[in-house]
Chains A and B, each alone.
Chain A
Amino acid sequence: GAGVSQSPSNKVTEKGKDVELRCDPISGHTALYWYRQSLGQGLEFLIYFQGNSAPDKSGLPSDRFSAERTGGSVSTLTIQRTQQEDSAVYLCASSLGWDRDAFFGQGTRLTVV
């Protein structure tokens, strides 16, 4: 595809349920990032993958959050036992490398009710 693709675009879930958010990076991009965009909070870094290196998970807000990247391409962000404060837009970005410009997806708007 021409850009970073995220699915679903919108997700409404009940408090306590688990959700999975998917990111398809630009082909050939070795670096992949997840950010969270909350109302009035700006963009908050969550996790970063670079090639086969161990991911930088330092931005994950709690152990309910996890992410994986299979085969160096598609990534899934999983939130277990969702809480209302998890409601936000989750953005994925990819780049050719850590020192190259990042391209963002359209985001997944998560609403926990």
Chain B
Amino acid sequence: AQRVTQPEKLLSVFKGAPVELKCNYSYSGSPELFWYVQYSRQRLQLLLRHISRESIKGFTADLNKGETSFHLKKPFAQEEDSAMYYCALKITSGSRLTFGEGTQLTVNP
């Protein structure tokens, strides 16, 4: 069965510092990987997906199949980036998302 691991439950950085949220997965096929974000008192929303290879709000994530990782990165963190971040996986032709346990990011002024 597929699995998503986010090793850090809490991550704290200062404004302007680089930030990396780690995500590792286990799945024998070719999955789709996503990052979802939940700001305080807001609903869970899609941040980015690996197939789009896009940068959203300054965040990027590269799928590394050799290391089975999909780390989320931003070169200069902002206070408004403080939120809970979830890495998620969808298997080929699958419908459900398998989520990691989430990382609470706090960006300090």
State the A residues within 8 Å of B (CB). Answer: 3-4, 31, 33, 35, 40-45, 48, 50, 56, 59, 91, 98-99, 101-107
Contact = CB atoms under 8 A, between A and B. Distances in A.
Name B's interface SS: loop
Nearest to B46: A101
Which of B9, B43, B88 has the largest count of A CB atoms less than 10 A from its CB? Answer: B43
Interface string B36-52: 00000001111001000
A43 B43 contact: no
Interface residues of B, number: 18
B95 A3 contact: no
Given A40-B101, A42-B86, A43-B86, A33 B96 contact: yes
Contact of B102 (A42, A59, A91, A106): A42
Contacts of A99: 93, 95
Interface of B: 9, 43-46, 49, 86, 88, 93-102
Contact of B96 (A3, A41, A42, A56): A56
A99 B96 CA distance: 10
A40 B45 CA distance: 19
Nearest to A3: B43
Given A42-B102, A43-B86, A104 B43 contact: yes
Nearest to B34: A101
Nearest to A38: B101
A105 B38 CA distance: 11
B43 A107 contact: yes
A84 B98 CA distance: 24
B46 A45 contact: no
A105 B45 CA distance: 9
Given A3-B43, A42-B86, A50 B101 contact: no
